[in-house]
Amino acid sequence: MIRKTTAALLLQRSEWFDLTDDQEAIQELEDDGDRLIFKLSPILEIKKSWSIYSVETAQAASVELRSMECDLIILVFQTRVDQSFLGQILKGVEKRPLVAWCYLPWRRIPHPMTYEELVKGSSMYAMSTTLAQLTENKIPYLAAFGSADDPVVQEKIRHFAHAAHVSSSLSKVSLGYLDLEQPDDRISRLQALTRLGVESTRIGSVEFQAAFSTVTPEEIDAYLGYLKSQSVEIMVTDDTIRKAARSALALGCVGTARQLDYFAVPDHSAAFRRLAGYCPGIPPGQQDGQSTIFIPTDDIGAVASTVILNLISGNPCFLMRLWFWDQPRNLVVGGHGGIQNPAGLSDGPVMICGDYECVRNDPDGGAQIEFITRPGRVTLLRICETADGFNATAATGMCLESDPWIEGIPHAMVRLDCTISLFLSRLSEAFGNAYWAMTYGSHVEELAALFELKAIPFTVLHD
């Protein structure tokens, strides 16, 4: 379960109310602030809120902010605001994502209006100056305009808050990748993920060999029992499935021992085959509380797409290369071998058959899981590495209900919301990548907010 985004709330108001000692108006503003917190609570964990109405209160809040861990800071222009507060506040904000909220206390503007109402409602001019300063200081921000009751404002803040949470989470991700061929001092092929805040750990042959050698026959028996309990039909010999299970369990052991959130394992590796007998083709089981998410390639774009889409959605992700399309039905079909886990992705039959890609004519030369993804609305994400950084593309559509279509490999059949012509046109552009990550649900708004925070160009394919 994804935790709530943590936030700090700064309610700015004019010092005019305190200088005039208008206690009734001050109480109304404080009650309004409590109501604002109530409206935000379903989507945010408000760690602390401050009322800021002087340079001194701004300084005190700034000091506390500097030592507070939170994903997001919300700066509310509750009334007309003195610009002298802002410099102090930004010292506490630093470079953390910020919502600058130009708050409007009414649905309909009073007419005629008292001077007190003018002070309450004229937050716009201070907001304009603040946005320029935020841009100058390179602080990532969302500008929001309106009342706490406005559903558009609530939705914008929800998307931005979730993106801020994911942005913060990326720096805490534990990512490993299996590399059995290169020396330990080789620069990581996933080094560029540091641009997203993600650090990667190389898992070499010595570590994997140690895990592989400690897998016991009893553990293999338990794992095969687990597969059968999940209605997985095994279509290979007992010797083949036991060898494949041993590899899967060894990978699971490494993931658990290293406390990896994600583990990238190439689906085809001559070194893996020499060491384990077969290429990896069945996923480590979940029967022992295995929490590592396995990615069936170490391609940097595929890894980045899977990690980000999983963090955004909280759902399992399916990795695929697109194979072919059906233009009259606006369908694309794709998939990917390796250790893809059907849990949460498939309601249909799951079987383990021969590894046709690696072995070709040898029916006992390996094992590969086969399934088709379940029907439902999906979001697809492709991240490409370029000389200037990353760019990202998303598409939406429907996974269609179908019996397994492609023999011997996990696959999906997706009817896109955009036309095939547009989709193919995008694929033909420079800096392409063969890999798309797919998950269930609609997550384009959150992705757009995250890539804006990360300053990554983002395109959504739609007609």
**Over the stretch 114-152, which tens digit does the pLDDT of each residue have?**
898 888 888 887 888 888 888 888 889 999 998 888 889
What phi, psi does 94 have (nearest 5°)?
Answer: 55, -125
Average pLDDT over residues 426-442: 83
Give Cα 5 to chain centroid, integer Å: 13
- Tell me how far CA of residue 375 lies from CA of 202, 306, 332, in angstroms: 36, 20, 14
Residues in the chain, how many? 463
Q: Are strands 175-178 and 200-203 parallel, antiparallel or unpaired?
A: parallel
**Over the stretch 198-257, which tens digit does the pLDDT of each residue have?**
999 999 999 999 999 999 999 999 999 988 888 889 989 999 999 999 999 999 999 999
- Tell me how far CA of residue 107 lies from CA of 147, 149, 295, in angstroms: 7, 9, 49
In this prediction the pTM is 0.90
**Over the stretch 60-108, which tens digit does the pLDDT of each residue have?**
999 999 999 999 999 999 988 887 888 889 899 988 999 999 988 877 8
pLDDT of residue 86: 84
Domains and CATH numbers, the chain: 5-170 (3.40.50.10940), 175-460 (3.20.14)
Q: What are the helix (H) ranges across 94-233?
A: 115-121, 124-136, 151-170, 205-214, 217-229
Cα–Cα nearest to 100, from 69, 77, 123: 77
